[in-house]
Amino acid sequence: MLLPEAQPEGVVRPGFPGKTVMVTGGATGLGRAMALEFGRLGCNVAFCFWNMPGRDVREMALLTETTLAAMGVKVFADACDVRDRTQVAAFVAQAKQRFGTVHFLINNAGIAADGALWRLTEHDWNDVIATNLIGANNCLATVAPIFRAQRFGKVVNISSHQSTRPGFGVTSYAASKAGLEGLTRAAAVELGPSNVNVNAVAPGFVRTERLQSLPPEVIHRARSSTVLGRLAEPEDIAHVVSFLCSDEARHVTGQVIAVDGGLSLETR
């Protein structure tokens, strides 16, 4: 006869309603879809953003914030450069002040600088690594004490199929995402004893603003490379992310979940 499993002390109540999610890069694209997904599930949403060259991200952030508020969601949005841990700490402190605590962290903020490795400048390389990998660690390291104190937390890092299936001209991006997957596994080991799950999702091609800027032939090739014959919608990724934060996924940690339409099944 098996003895009952001991339950961690001080674990927060089950379910999504009333909990708080922090989404980095939450103003646009995939980040926006995930912010709306958690809002739909009844969470308070704190999302940060950073203006990009040629894009008025602040205006798009206002649109996302307005949409969440119209859903009846408590929302906090502000600019935050995830490469700067001081800014991250200030953002987390404000979110905690408004909502009491943070329960879920979605490390979504990311950039790319495409080009042959011998043409990439040192600045371009460092900027991608600083945003995609160091930025994710800054956020994780900042919320970890909160999660450990409350003995509850879920982290989902947004990786990419290019961490294992890189095309030409993505050395910095692929390296940053491969590092992010290593960070996922290592953080899962360190935070597991505190009842904190750390996982990653590796999307394939997702129909976001960045994909729409590619030539039609590239998009066609991306679609035909998947065994399902279609591109992902942002919501396809958001649903898997929310599942990994759910009570149903409480025994999943240190994993990288491919959500790529079967792209990773295809041989070159």
Active site residues: 173
**Angle formed by the axes of helices 171-191 and 122-129, to 10°?**
30
Tokens of 233: 């919608």
Return d(Cα 163, Cα 204) in angstroms, integer: 10
Return d(Cα 265, Cα 261) in angstroms, integer: 9
Name the nearest CA neighbour of 61 among 70, 50, 71.
50
* Residue 21 near residue 245, CB atoms below 8 Å: yes
Backbone angles phi, psi at 255, to 5 degrees: -110, 150
**Angle formed by the axes of helices 171-191 and 135-150, to 10°?**
10
Q: Helix or strand or coil: residue 198?
A: strand
Order of strands across the sheet with 104-107? 75-79, 44-49, 20-24, 104-107, 153-158, 196-203, 256-259
Q: How many residues does the chain have?
A: 268
- Angle (nearest 5°) at CA 17 between 16 and 18: 115
